[in-house]
Amino acid sequence: MQRTRLDIARIQAAREVIDPIFLDTPLYRCEALEPGLGCTVSIKLETANPVRSFKARGTELIASLLAGSGSRAVVCASAGNLGQALAWSGRGRGLDVTVVASRFAPAAKLDRIRALGASVELVDGDFDMARERASAVARHHGVRLVEDSLDIETCEGAATIGLELVDTVPSFDVVLIALGGGALATGVGHVIKARAPGAEVICVQPLGAPAMTLSWRERRVVTTGPTSTIADGVAGRRPIPAVLADLLLVADDAVLVQEASIVAGMRMLLHHAGLVVEPSAALGIAAILEDRDRFAGRHVVTIVCGGNVDMDAYHRWVGAPPIHDS
Amino acid sequence: MQRTRLDIARIQAAREVIDPIFLDTPLYRCEALEPGLGCTVSIKLETANPVRSFKARGTELIASLLAGSGSRAVVCASAGNLGQALAWSGRGRGLDVTVVASRFAPAAKLDRIRALGASVELVDGDFDMARERASAVARHHGVRLVEDSLDIETCEGAATIGLELVDTVPSFDVVLIALGGGALATGVGHVIKARAPGAEVICVQPLGAPAMTLSWRERRVVTTGPTSTIADGVAGRRPIPAVLADLLLVADDAVLVQEASIVAGMRMLLHHAGLVVEPSAALGIAAILEDRDRFAGRHVVTIVCGGNVDMDAYHRWVGAPPIHDS
């Protein structure tokens, strides 16, 4: 494999810095999902921790580095999960954390960021506008801007999930990874390609927020107009060139799924696995639902990457009484 | 402490036999629950595994022993979780598993037992009637009867949770434990009293199934009439003397909670922790809700012991759209 920005030794070293509460998350076969999906399904569960997503694996690295170098503040743009994770990691190390978010980010996520002691600044626009504003705040105050997926620590943190996969599951054929900015996909993908090269790395993005997938397919950065998806955690429209370059080296495929499939995936995870997940975390199941033949009989690992949902919205999507869920 | 039937060395040895997929489960502080409860709350989460409850910790021990001694079959009575766990552990070791259950056990639990390859036999009565029938089946076929809470392996398996608590949480003041037959309470309680004697061990049972709590209070076995609770996992009416004897040595208190509090606890775990749990798993939160003053400002660990619910019933209890949840 050509060299990505990642390095296995650094990813292993990251495990020593990350609070163990975020490591060695549950990884188990979920047979109740299998009749509906036609393949063997293992879940890597990233929701059972204080911030209910995998993002703290990366923010733990960043906050330790900053605290170690005497920094006192940090800022990021976030659809919610990165902000919550940075707030948690920063608070534990005495950092002032500012999170810039879209006014359209789920209220539940913004409330949790504030509850963790961070300042929240809202912008009237999407995630990319929040990113610009965060950058301006960082320049103005001279503090570190955390850029998800661009900053190598966010990818290395996510990559520790990959180590746990290759060190635990005896054999798997496919890993399904939610694709947004690319930290999770390039991080986990790097480890899979380095340590379990026989497994297929498939990234999954919503049709309504396809920028990175289109970029991967065309092998150049493709930006898009406004996104339209319930999966706020992966909704960006301007891929980062360095992340795309890594993704081109580690992803075997990138697929787009419909909103209805994401909702069906969330419903299956609730009814058959007892898991409340955010839309991004159901992208893997959505991909299986849209292409059963591709996965038939194979052992598929899907990373359930976050569980921060507004419960009102969740109930609207998933519906209360299970009709005849698939 | 006077000697219970349990022994720390044996509990530590049990960790070597239990499939690691059931060990070292998530244990984390859940701040989103705290404003509503008035205390520091940590969750020990036993739902993120292939059988969605802690029971496999015990059945792993039993199935290994049986397989090691050349046994080919095993039978148990179960409200669902023990049966599912024994089915999983038995299947992995080539054992024929029979589960005797009440016809009133949740259909979701019975379906999962069958899906794991076990035979299910239903009785027209409650759990205690299922226990009698299982005993008869065992005698007739000359196979091992697994008796939850009476069989020391079920307590030792549960006790491994206690080791994970004392080895992980820096300090806690109280552990809240669902009380049914007593395996979880005596197992975890033994370890807490041996290794973290300053912590209070409080058992929680539904008012509608109070036999073990009444027995603990009167220091003698008290049987009751038919149980009436949605917490099927802890509904028994004939405490086992040897288990009560252990409970008297390790429990600091045993409290009874109302059904409405159990439902409120389930709702809080859904809305503030994103967890779908069965009623038994919400008993700890219910206990806090009923006696906030007792727990105010303290660090409380609650064991979320299972997540096997019939989703129709769950939606009826918890309600679909979150009104103004506490």
- C-alpha torsion sign, points A267, A272, A277, A283: negative
Share of chain B above pLDDT 70, in %: 98
Q: What are phi and psi of B143, to 5 degrees?
A: -115, 165
Burial class (CB in 10 A: 0-12, 13-18, 19+), A172: buried
Burial class (CB in 10 A: 0-12, 13-18, 19+), B41: buried
Coil, strand or helix at A65: helix
Cβ of B45 within 8 Å of Cβ of A50? The answer is no
Tally A–B CB contacts below 8 A: 72
Set of chain A residues whose Cβ sits within 8 Å of the Cβ of B30: 50
For B43, B105, B235, B248, the CA distances from B277, given in Å and listed in that order, are: 12, 16, 16, 28
- C-alpha torsion sign, points A108, A20, B299, B48: positive
Q: Are B19 and B60 in contact (CB under 8 A)?
A: yes
Cβ of A271 within 8 Å of Cβ of B311? The answer is yes
Question: What class does CATH assign to B56-146?
Answer: alpha beta
Q: What are phi and psi of B250, to 5 degrees?
A: -115, -20
Among the listed residues A234, A66, A232, the one whose alpha carbon sits nearest the alpha carbon of residue A151 = A66
Q: Are A262 and A231 in contact (CB under 8 A)?
A: yes
- Tell whether B276 lies on the interface with A, counting CB pairs under 8 A: yes
How does DSSP assign A227-281, residue by residue? ---S-GGG--SS--HHHHHHHHHH-SEEEEE-HHHHHHHHHHHHHHH-B---GGG
How far, rounded to the nearest angstrom, does the alpha carbon of residue A221 sit from its chain's CA centroid? 20
Tokens 């209910």 -> residue: A52
Q: How confident is the model at residue B324 (pLDDT cuts 50, 70, 90)?
A: very low
Q: How confident is the model at residue B326 (pLDDT cuts 50, 70, 90)?
A: very low
Please give the pLDDT value at position B10: 98
Distance from B214 to chain A by nearest Cα, in Å? 33
Distance from B205 to chain A by nearest Cα, in Å? 23
Please give the pLDDT value at position B320: 57
Cβ of A26 within 8 Å of Cβ of B32? The answer is no
- Tell whether B115 lies on the interface with A, counting CB pairs under 8 A: yes
Strand intervals (E) in A6-118: 27-29, 40-45, 73-77, 96-102
What is the strand order of the sheet A73-77 is part of?
A: A119-123, A96-102, A73-77, A144-146
Residue A41 corresponds to which tokens in the numbers above?
């399904």
Set of chain B residues whose Cβ sits within 8 Å of the Cβ of A30: 50
Q: How confident is the model at residue B217 (pLDDT cuts 50, 70, 90)?
A: very high
Cβ of B49 within 8 Å of Cβ of A28? The answer is yes
Please give the pLDDT value at position A326: 37
- Tell whether B50 lies on the interface with A, counting CB pairs under 8 A: yes
Distance CA A195, CA B211 (A): 54
Burial class (CB in 10 A: 0-12, 13-18, 19+), B23: middle
Cβ of A31 within 8 Å of Cβ of B45? The answer is no
Distance CA B149, CA B86 (A): 14
Q: What is the CATH number of domain B8-50+152-318?
A: 3.40.50.1100
- Tell whether B25 lies on the interface with A, counting CB pairs under 8 A: yes
Geometric angle at alpha carbon A136, from A132 and A139, rounded to 5°: 140
- Tell whether A226 lies on the interface with B, counting CB pairs under 8 A: no
For B26, the closest of A48, A275, A315 (CB atoms) is A48
Better-scored residue on pLDDT, A226 or B202: B202
CATH 3.40.50.1100-classified regions of chain A: 8-53+152-318, 56-146
Q: What is the pLDDT along chain A (326 residues), one digit of tens a residue?
A: 679 999 999 999 999 999 999 999 999 999 999 999 999 999 999 999 999 999 999 999 999 999 999 999 999 999 789 999 999 999 999 999 999 998 888 787 889 999 999 999 999 988 778 989 999 999 999 999 999 999 999 999 999 999 999 998 778 999 999 999 999 999 999 999 999 999 999 999 999 999 999 999 999 999 999 999 999 889 888 999 999 999 999 999 999 999 999 999 999 999 999 999 999 999 999 999 999 999 999 999 999 999 999 888 999 999 854 443 43
- Tell whether B307 lies on the interface with A, counting CB pairs under 8 A: yes
Cβ of A321 within 8 Å of Cβ of B307? The answer is no
Distance from B295 to chain A by nearest Cα, in Å? 21
Coil, strand or helix at B68: helix
Set of chain A residues whose Cβ sits within 8 Å of the Cβ of B271: 311
Distance CA B212, CA B224 (A): 9
Cβ of A322 within 8 Å of Cβ of B309? The answer is no
Q: Looking at chain B, which residue has its C-alpha nearest residue A278?
A: B274
Q: What is the mean pLDDT of chain B?
A: 94
How far, rounded to the nearest angstrom, does the alpha carbon of residue A157 sit from its chain's CA centroid? 11
- Tell whether A117 lies on the interface with B, counting CB pairs under 8 A: no
Mutation target to probe the B interface, by most B beta carbons within 10 A, among A47, A60, A165, A280 is A47
Distance CA A89, CA B103 (A): 49
DSSP secondary structure code for residue A172 in this structure: -
Q: Looking at chain B, which residue has its C-alpha nearest residue A313?
A: B321
Share of chain B above pLDDT 90, in %: 86
Mutation target to probe the A interface, by most A beta carbons within 10 A, among B277, B311, B312 is B311
Cβ of A271 within 8 Å of Cβ of B26? The answer is no
In sequence order, which residues have a C-beta less than 8 Å from that of residue A317 and are 6 or more positions away?
Answer: A230, A263, A266, A279
What ipTM is given for this predicted complex? 0.93
Cβ of B48 within 8 Å of Cβ of A32? The answer is no
- Tell whether A1 lies on the interface with B, counting CB pairs under 8 A: no
- Tell whether A107 lies on the interface with B, counting CB pairs under 8 A: no
Distance from A2 to chain B by nearest Cα, in Å? 34
Cβ of B30 within 8 Å of Cβ of A50? The answer is yes
Question: What class does CATH assign to A8-53+152-318?
Answer: alpha beta
DSSP secondary structure code for residue B306 in this structure: B
CATH 3.40.50.1100-classified regions of chain B: 8-50+152-318, 56-146
Q: Is the model's pLDDT at B325 over the cut of 80? A: no
Q: What are phi and psi of A319, to 5 degrees?
A: 80, 145
- Tell whether B197 lies on the interface with A, counting CB pairs under 8 A: no
Cβ of B31 within 8 Å of Cβ of A116? The answer is yes
